[in-house]
Structure 1
Amino acid sequence: MVAAIAAFIAVPTLALAQDAKHSFKMATGWPGGPLMDIGAKAFAERVDQMSDGRIKIQVFPGGTLGNALKVTETVKNGVAEMGHTWMGYDWGRDTTTVLFGGYAGSFDSERMLHWLYQAGGVDLQRQYRDEVFGVVSMPLFIRTAEVFLHSRKPVRTLEDMKGLKLRTAGSWLDMAKDLGAAPVTTAGGDVFPMLERGAIDATEWGTLWEDIAPGFHKVAKYLIIPGVHQPVAPFDLVINKDAWAKLSDKDKKLIETAARLTTFDSWLRIGEEDAKALDVYRKAGNEVIELAPEVQYRTREIADAWADKQAETNPWFAKVLASQRDFERRWANATQYRNVKVRATATQ
C-alpha cells in the first residue's frame, strides 16, 4: 500500500521535473551574419518552439560574455550555460578539435554529415569534449566548402602564396606556412578593418554566401576558390555540464534534436545561397580566380602528412582520424554508383 502511494506521488513530481522551465545564456564567437541568424539564433528559436516556451536561450554576440575565440572556456567556467563556437578555435589545446571542425584533409560536407550522424562521429565528439574539455558537445550548424581567400592580391599558384599575409584559424595556421604564407589569427569582428587598412593581404572566413554580409569583397578585389583549406566546417554547441545535468532526459533529447535539425537546415540553406552568390561578386566587380591544381594537390598532401604526425603522439587524434579514414574507404567508390554522366545542354 505504501509503495502504491509513493508511486502515485512520484508521477506528478516526475511530470513537474520534465516540464521545468530553464533560462540559459549562450555565448558565441560571431558578431552577426548567417552563423548567428541560421545558427545560434535559429537554434534558440527552435528550442523555444519545441519546448512550448519552457526553455529560453538568450544569444549574445561574440565578445559580450568573454573572448570570442574562447567560448568553450566561457561555458566551462559557467559564465554562460551554452556556447556556439568552431571547435578548431581550441586547437592550441588539442589538435583533435580540427577533425571535428574540419581542416584541409577533411571530406566534403555531405560525407561529414554522414560520418557524424550515421558512422559514430557525434558519439566520438561527445566523449572527446567531455573527457578533454569538460563540456557537453554536439554539432550545431555546418558549412560547405569555404572561399579560399578574399585577397587584395591575385592568388593562383604556389608562388603567389609566398609571403602572403592572411588571416585564418585552426590547423591552417600551421599548414599555410608550409605553402610559404604568413598566417595570423584574430576574432571575426577584427577581420574587416585589418583587411581594409592592409594589415593583412587576404582572409578566409566562410562560404560564398556567408562572406557577402561581412563585405570582404568591398575591400579585396580577388575572390579565390575553392576552399581547399576547409572543405567543410561543422560548428559546435557546447553546454556547461551542471546546466546539462539540470535538464530532464526528455529535454536533453529536445536539445539534441533541435541542434540536429538546425544543422541540417543550415547545410541546405547555405548550399542554395552559395549557388547564387558568385553572381553577386561578379556584379560587384570582383575577379574570381580558381586555384591552380598544384596548390590544391599540395594542400592535401600537407594536410595528410600533418594529420599522420599528430596521430603519432595524440591517442584521441589517432582514434578520430582512424574512424574518418575508415569511413572514407567505405565511400571510396560512391561516385561510381551515385553520379550519372550527362551531356552538357544549353541550360547548364
Structure 2
Amino acid sequence: MTKKTIHNTTNSTTSADVPAKMLNRRNLLRGATLVGAAALTAACDGGKDKVGGKGAPGIVSKQRKLKMVTAWPKNFPGLGTGVERLAKRIETLSDGDIQVKVYAAGELVGALDGFDAVSQGKADMYHAAEYYWQGKSPAFNFFAAVPMGMLASEITAWVRFGGGQELWDELSGRFNVKAFLAGNTGTQMGGWYKKDINSIADFQGLRIRMPGLGGEVLKRLGATPVTKQGGEIFQALSQGNIDATEWIGPWNDLAFGFHTIVKNYYYPGFHEPGSALSLGLNKDLWEDMSPKEKAIIEAASAAENDIMYAEFNANNGRALDTLVNEHGVKLKRFSDEILAKLAEVSDQVLRDTASNDELSKRVYDSYKTSRAYSMRWGAISEQAFAHARSLYEK
C-alpha cells in the first residue's frame, strides 16, 4: 500500500489551489454570515436603525410621540418638575425614540380628568395620585394612600414584592390602563387649620380640603371634606370657602403660601403616611410596545419613584425651618387622644371600603397583610433606631 503524506493546508492553500465553484460557495457563506451578524446587531440594538443612525441600513425603528397629562400645576416644585424629569428620562433611555410631551393640569384636560383621558385614548399617559379615581373603584385608594396606612417604603415593598402590582394590573386593566409607581411625597403633614384642634369635637362642621379616604374619616367625625385640585386651594382658603386644608408637606406648602393665611400647622398627616404617585398608560399603547420600550417605561418610573421621595425628604426639613423661624408658623401635634380616634375610624373606613366588591376585598386583604409585616419589622428596625438616635439629640 502506498503511504500518503498528509499536509496541514490551513495557511498554505491559495485561491489558485481552489476550484471556482468552491470559491463561489465560500464567498456565499461569508456573505450570509455578514448579513446574519448585521441582523443580530440590529435586533440587539432594539431595531433602532434609522437612516443616518446606528445599525444596519434599511431598518426603520418605530418612533412615538406621547402625551402625558398630569394633576399638577406647571413646573410646581417636586410634582410638576418631577413629571418633567420622568418624561426626559424616558426620552433619554430610548435615545429619542419615545418622546413625551407633558401637559400640566388644565392644559389638555382637567387635573382630575387624566384617568378618563388615558382610558379612552385621548391622552397616552397620566401622572397623578390613584385616589383621585376612587369614583371608579374605592380600591384605587390603596395604590396612593389610605388613612393610617403604609409609609413610602412599605407601599413600595407591597406593590413590588407583596402582590400589589398584580392586583393593580387587574384593577386598572378593567379600565384599559396599565399603571406603575412613579413618585412618592413621603409622610404628609396634618394640614393648616384656622382654629385649634384640641379634641375630636373640633372637627364638627369643619370644611376641609382632603381627598380620598382621609376625607371620609373626617366626614364621619362631623367635618365636610372638599376635593379641590392644588391650584384652587389657596383661593378657597383665603376667601373662606374652606376652614382648613392639607396639601403635601412643608416644601410644597411653603411654595403655595398657605402660611400667609393660616398659622396653625398640624402633624402628623394620618390620612397620607406615604403618598404614592403613579404613571398610568393606555393599555392598548402598553401592549403595542416592544419589550425594550416596556423596560424603559418601567425603569424610568422606578427611578422617579426613588428620586422624588429623596427630593421631598431633602427639601421638607429646610422648608419647615423657614416656615417656623421666618414666617411665625405654629407647629402643633395632634394629641394622642385625637390620633387614637382617627385610627379607630380609619380602620372602620378601610373595612367598609373592602366590602364594596370582591376585588376591593382582595386588595384590602393583601394590603393589610403586608402592612402588618412592615409594622412588625419597622418597630424593631427604623422606629427603634429613630428613638435611640433621638435620645442624645434631645
Q: TM-score scaled by structure 1?
A: 0.91
Deviation readout 1:83-138 (Å, 9 max, x if unpaired): 1111101112210011111110312222112212222222322222112x221111
Contact conserved, 1:70 with 1:90, CA < 8 A, in 2? no
Q: Which amino acid aligns with 1:134?
A: N
Q: Which amino acid aligns with 2:391?
A: A
Contact conserved, 2:191 with 2:266, CA < 8 A, in 1? yes
> Is structure 2 residue 228 aligned with structure 1 residue 228?
no
Runs (4 or more) in structure 1 with deviation over 6 Å come to none
Q: Which amino acid aligns with 1:344?
A: L
Q: Secondary structure at the match of 2:138?
A: coil
Q: 1:156 to 1:277 in 2, by over 3 A?
A: farther
- Aligned-pair Cα RMSD in Å: 2.3
Contact conserved, 2:78 with 2:312, CA < 8 A, in 1? no
Q: 1:281 to 1:327 in 2, by over 3 A?
A: same
Deviation readout 1:202-235 (Å, 9 max, x if unpaired): 1111122222211112211211111011112111
Distance 2:118 2:134 in 1: 17
Contact conserved, 1:28 with 1:68, CA < 8 A, in 2? yes
Give 1:293 shift. 1.2
- What is the percentage of aligned positions where both structures have the same residue? 26
Aligned to 1:271: 313
Give 1:331 shift. 3.0
> Following superposition of structure 1 onto structure 2, how do residues 145-160 of structure 1 map, counting pairs within 5 Å?
145-160=187-202
Q: Secondary structure at the match of 2:67?
A: strand
Give 1:191 shift. 0.9
> Is structure 2 residue 296 aligned with structure 1 residue 249?
no
Aligned to 1:326: 369
Aligned to 1:56: 99
Q: Secondary structure at the match of 2:235?
A: helix
Aligned to 1:204: 246
> Following superposition of structure 1 onto structure 2, how do residues 1-348 of structure 1 map, counting pairs within 5 Å?
12=42, 15-16=47-48, 19-32=61-74, 33-131=76-174, 133-282=175-324, 283-334=326-377, 335-338=379-382, 339-340=384-385, 341-342=388-389, 344-345=391-392, 347-348=393-394
Q: 1:18 to 1:82 in 2, by over 3 A?
A: farther
Q: Secondary structure at the match of 2:192?
A: strand
Deviation readout 1:34-54 (Å, 9 max, x if unpaired): 343443111101112211222
Q: 1:63 to 1:128 in 2, by over 3 A?
A: same
Q: Of the two structures, which has the highest relative contact order with CA contacts closer than 8 Å and spacing of 6 or more? A: 1
Deviation readout 1:52-72 (Å, 9 max, x if unpaired): 222111111101111211210
Deviation readout 1:169-215 (Å, 9 max, x if unpaired): 12223221112212111222111101111111111111222222111
Give 1:242 shift. 2.7
Q: Secondary structure at the match of 1:150?
A: strand
Contact conserved, 1:27 with 1:71, CA < 8 A, in 2? yes
Q: Which moved more, 1:18-27 or 1:215-224?
A: 18-27
Distance 1:113 1:167 in 2: 26
Q: TM-score scaled by structure 2?
A: 0.81
Distance 1:177 1:37 in 2: 30
Distance 1:198 1:265 in 2: 36
Give 1:277 shift. 2.4
Q: Secondary structure at the match of 1:211?
A: helix
Q: How many residues align?
A: 343
Distance 1:332 1:89 in 2: 26
Give 1:332 shift. 3.9
